[in-house]
Amino acid sequence: MILVTGGAGFIGANFVLDWLAQSDEPVLNLDKLTYAGNLENLSPLASDPRHVFVQGDIGDSALVAGLLAQYQPRAVLNFAAESHVDRSIHGPEDFIQTNVVGTMRLLQAVRAYWQALDEVPRTAFRFLHVSTDEVYGSLAPEDAAFTEVNKLEPNSPYSASKAASDHLVRAWHHTYGLPVLTTNCSNNYGPLHFPEKLIPLLIVNALAGKPLPVYGDGLQVRDWLYVKDHCSAIRRVLESGQVGELYNVGGWNEKPNIEIVHTVCSLLDELRPKADGTAYQTQITHVQDRPGHDRRYAIDASKIERELGWRPSETFESGIRKTVQWYLDNPDWVAHVQSGAYREWVQTQYAGQPAPAPAAVYP
């Protein structure tokens, strides 16, 4: 069994779904179910005995220790994080508590569990920490893309909290010998993305006839990675990554935000044209840039290709088409997220089922 933290969020849920589509190895899924944790994301697994869900916080040391002792996972994959830059600007404390304090407590619980294992499982055990390219800071247009040896220069409360968590993971390896792996990914997009992030927000607002907000001039550049490619990279790193190493995971798709906006609008014009025949681009509205907005991120993913043989399988063109189509095909999911009804889904789905120790567990 593997333990996945944050497995009801966007990337975590996609990872759990993909893992169980390709493997019969069970997943213990720990998620706090904050606003972005949506158990409805995992509805295909509601009756799957290979998936055990526990609602809880990675910062709850007693809970985590109990789960580790009960389920004896061979690996822990940490997706749990507060991740929205705008929210971190308005309320940084939640990011410090989850991304820094929570990661430290998780590392402590995992270290105690790992040290008590017999030699063979202790040697095979891995802790994989999922991080972001935002920890590296911002690039000038002429700068080379981030590699694993770039120093960390975070510029937002979110990226600072993730950089701190990366440092903690590194320290627990070098100080205590915990066998860790770290991945730093570029901007993910795809199904199940909470519609506060750029691409799902564009789709949802466009269909609702609302403005499509673009920060500043829209020329901020990001590297875009289809979420299922990210999941395949994490599986590959878990399988064969060298203990203590960092692996940058990117899509080789540097694009300015305004190009993303126009691409989404053009796809919607094709796939869901407006009744009045007007183009969705007429809804684009430029708004004041956010404080400290990084101008450019770019990931050099050469190391993971060279050492582990991984490359993304989706182009941006194929991935963004799949993403837009998914949102068009899943209006109920979107409606539940917008209304907050997804929070009620767990009570409806699991009403009357027992909750085994040590926490509220939904098989």
> Could you report the per-residue pLDDT of 289-307, keeping only the tens digit for each?
878 788 999 999 999 999 9
Structure tokens that stand for 163 in this block: 């950089």
Q: Which amino acid is at 2?
A: I
Residue in 133, 254, 300, 314 annotated catalytic: 133
Query: What's the pLDDT score for residue 359?
Result: 34
Residue in 158, 189, 226, 362 annotated catalytic: 158
221 burial class (0-12, 13-18, 19+ CB within 10 angstroms)?
middle
SS3 126: strand
Query: What's the pLDDT score for residue 291?
Result: 83
Residue in 134, 223, 254, 300 annotated catalytic: 134
Average pLDDT rounded to a whole number, residues 124-130? 98
Query: Do the beta carbons of residue 53 and residue 42 sit within 8 Å?
Result: yes
Average pLDDT rounded to a whole number, residues 33-39? 86
Q: How many CB atoms lie within 10 A of CB 274?
A: 15
Distance CA 355, CA 151 (A): 45
Query: What's the pLDDT score for residue 345?
Result: 42
Structure confidence by residue, pLDDT tens digits, 228-258: 999 999 999 999 999 999 999 999 999 999 9
**pLDDT band for position 361 (50/70/90)?**
very low
Tell me, yes or no, if 134 is annotated catalytic.
yes
Q: How many CB atoms lie within 10 A of CB 91?
A: 11
| Domain range summary for the chain, segments of one domain joined by + | 2-188+225-252+296-313+340-362
Q: What is the Cβ-side half-sphere exposure of residue 319, based on CA atoms within 13 angstroms?
A: 22
Average pLDDT rounded to a whole number, residues 130-140? 95
- Of 163, 11, 189, nearest to 88 by C-alpha is 163
Report the sign of the C-alpha dihedral through residues 266, 270, 274, 279, in that order. Answer: positive
SS3 283: helix
Tell me, yes or no, if 350 is annotated catalytic.
no
Query: What's the pLDDT score for residue 341?
Result: 62
Residue 162 sits at the vertex; the CA angle it makes with 345 and 172, to the nearest 5 degrees, is 105
Q: Are strands 75-78 and 126-132 parallel, antiparallel or unpaired?
A: parallel
Tell me, yes or no, if 158 is annotated catalytic.
yes
Query: Do the beta carbons of residue 222 and residue 275 sit within 8 Å?
Result: no
Q: How many CB atoms lie within 10 A of CB 224?
A: 23
Structure confidence by residue, pLDDT tens digits, 85-118: 878 888 899 999 999 999 999 999 999 999 999 9
Structure confidence by residue, pLDDT tens digits, 168-206: 999 999 999 999 999 999 999 999 998 878 999 999 999
Domain 2-188+225-252+296-313+340-362 fold is: Rossmann fold (3.40.50)
